[in-house]
Amino acid sequence: MSLIKKFQVTFDCAEPRRVARFWCEVLGYESPSPKGFATWDEYDRSQPAEDRGSWSACIDPSGVGPRLFFQRVPEGKVVKNRVHLDVRVGTGLVGEERLATLEAECTRLLALGAVRVQLLYDGHDSCIVMQDIEGNEFCVD
């Protein structure tokens, strides 16, 4: 039996390229154009009109993190995500130091279009629940 060593995380969304750009900024990822094309626009022009802008992807330039794939779907988000990403910026920190680090990252993400939902803080451990630009929940942890 072989073990899976790589995986990608797939997002259903209305505007794949827009959501991919958001997550590239959040995570420091890159969104290279599809093989054989100099740009995403060039790729889109090669596709039938109904398929233009139907997907996008971004990758960790270090090759460590998973590939993120974004696919256009006709329906909007209706309920809470069953799976979400944790953006880990406070690893190893506790109390006020952790909270200050999370708040600083939250401020940066708000400027990118994220929405702050809720601070979870018990005086020791904390995380901030947020939403991306299409309402997908994630945590700053």
Query: pTM for the whole thing?
Result: 0.89
Instruction: Check pLDDT > 90 for residue 124.
Output: no
In the 3-class helix/strand/coil scheme, how is the chain assigned residue by residue?
Answer: CCCCCCCEEEEEECCHHHHHHHHHHHHCCECCCCCCCCCHHHHHHCCCHHHCCCEEEEECCCCCCCEEEEEECCCCCCCCCCCCEEECCCCCCCHHHHHHHHHHHHHHHHHCCCEEEEEEECCCCEEEEEECCCCCEEEEC
> Which CATH fold topology does 8-72 show?
3.30.720
Instruction: Check pLDDT > 70 for residue 1.
Output: no
Q: Give 36-83 pLDDT, tens digit per residue.
A: 999 999 999 999 999 999 999 999 999 999 999 999 999 988 888 888
Q: Mean pLDDT, the chain, as a whole number?
A: 93
Query: For the chain, which residues make up each domain, given as ranges?
Result: 8-72, 85-140
